[in-house]
Structure 1
Amino acid sequence: MGKSQKKKKQYHRPAPAAPMVNSSSQRSPEKAASNGNLILIAGFVVVLFLFWYYHLLVLNQMTDLSNGLTMPDQMIGGYSVEHIEALRQAMDADAVGQLNYVHKTAGLLFPLFLALITMLAVNINTARGAGRWALWSVPILFAVADLWENRAIDALFISPLDPSAVSLASTLTTASWILLIATAAILFGVLIASFVRTFREKWELSKKGLL
């Protein structure tokens, strides 16, 4: 008898299935914009709190340590050598140390947070180009001027008192307030423009029955 030939079964590997894509996890421009707006809202609340805490609460309370004299940070129009000299006589070492501590905490966080939130708002709601850089330059200059002002004011309480140092600190205080107002105007303007644009888009979609 001849050897029986056994037919080998051929197994065909099934074609690999296409990977399933979870569309819910994909990052769409609308979802990115929504996340950015949530960050903006949270950051805006933090900025308002820091402004209230720094300028309206702590610096006002510092007048209890200076016989009622206003802190240089709050004098939008600047100040004179006589005002700083009166502060130096009214504030003891503990009061000066308290002002220095305020500058290193709330005085540091407020300008940085405001500058970052404003730049984020501009980045989300404006197109790339020279206009975006122009809007970015204002909060950047504000942060630089405000932080420099803090150091300049702290230096005024180190003897001897230099009139040129008072002039520099006074100029920085006025400049920082002007830049603060300009930065706040940009932030509010960008947020309002974004709100109006979103409202108009949703209104148009609702008129077409797409919402």
Structure 2
Amino acid sequence: MGMTRAQKAKKYGESEGSTPAAPRRPRDPAVRPVSVHEMRPGELAPEPGKSSSAGILVGVAFFVGVALWLYYHLLVLQGVSGALAGGVTAPELLAGGFSAEHLADFARGLGTDGRTEYEGVHATTGLLTPLLTGLGWLLFTGLNTPQRARKWVYWVVVLAYAVVFLLGNSALDAAVAQPQDTAAAAYASGLVLARWILFAALLLIAVLVCVSVVRRKFDDFSRGRLPGQRPRS
């Protein structure tokens, strides 16, 4: 008949009466998360969810700017030409600039009340159009142009367009208020011409950015780098 645990403890001591405890394993040292600044090139993987969300927001801002530009030029200024100026084309719709005689005819067609409404158009839709259009182009080119130098060139053109647009509105208000001032008319005409040249540059930038994006996508597809693709050796 075997001895009980208490009898073993009395005869051999406490060490024999108790079950030996399992040795404790040392804890693994706490691993500090790696900072983004400590990662090597290529280790920072993009998160598809955040990237797609940013792309959607930028796309919305870009198309809002384009829609507002079309609304201003195709509806608002056409209404100014027809309803306010009696059929005389608004000066900013003339991409090649305008003469002092045309500006005098436009001011005469507007009259005092029409001139006030024309200035109101510049203070509302004419103010929002270059700001939102410029913002949409800035975000679009910033998201899709990885080269820093090229991105800054694009941004300079976009900002120049917005500034020239606003200066042109102010110059047109001053020229319409004093249609006999040929120097003011020439200055406003030069700003309108520069505005259209810069807008053509914006269209060219949009085309170049789209072509660059398509090329990168094709290159990533050929190398198997697109999300869901199996990398090729």
In the superposition, the TM-score normalised over structure 2's length comes to: 0.72
* 1:210 and 2:230 are equivalent in the alignment: yes
**Alpha-carbon separation, structure 1, partners of 2:110 and 2:139:** 40
Between the two proteins, the alignment pairs up a number of residues equal to 192
User: What amino acid is aligned across from residue 134 of structure 2 in structure 1?
Assistant: A
Kept in 1, the 8 Å contact 2:130–2:165? The answer is yes
The 1:160/1:73 distance shift into structure 2, 3 A limit, reads closer
Residue matched to 1:130: 149
1:63 to 81, 88, 91: 81
User: What amino acid is aligned across from residue 194 of structure 2 in structure 1?
Assistant: A
Give CA-to-partner distance per residue, 1:90-116, whole Å, 9 cap, x none. 112221122112112221112112222
Kept in 2, the 8 Å contact 1:76–1:177? The answer is yes
Residue matched to 2:62: 44
User: What amino acid is aligned across from residue 184 of structure 2 in structure 1?
Assistant: A
**Alpha-carbon separation, structure 1, partners of 2:207 and 2:133:** 12
Give CA-to-partner distance per residue, 1:64-120, whole Å, 9 cap, x none. 221211001101111111111111211122211221121122211121122222222
Residue matched to 1:12: none
User: What amino acid is aligned across from residue 75 of structure 2 in structure 1?
Assistant: L
**Alpha-carbon separation, structure 2, partners of 1:90 and 1:109:** 26
**Alpha-carbon separation, structure 2, partners of 1:37 and 1:189:** 18
The gaps in structure 2 that reach 5 residues or longer are 1-26, 34-43
Kept in 1, the 8 Å contact 2:157–2:201? The answer is yes
Higher Rg: 2
* 1:29 and 2:46 are equivalent in the alignment: yes
**Alpha-carbon separation, structure 2, partners of 1:209 and 1:115:** 36
Higher relative contact order (Cα pairs below 8 Å, separated by 6+ residues): 1
User: What amino acid is aligned across from residue 210 of structure 1 in structure 2?
Assistant: R
In the superposition, the TM-score normalised over structure 1's length comes to: 0.78
The alpha carbon displacement at 1:197 in A equals 2.1
Residue matched to 2:174: 155
Kept in 1, the 8 Å contact 2:65–2:134? The answer is no
Structure 1 stretches (4+) deviating beyond 6 angstroms? none
Kept in 2, the 8 Å contact 1:33–1:124? The answer is no
Kept in 2, the 8 Å contact 1:148–1:172? The answer is yes
The gaps in structure 1 that reach 5 residues or longer are 1-14, 22-26
User: What amino acid is aligned across from residue 152 of structure 1 in structure 2?
Assistant: A
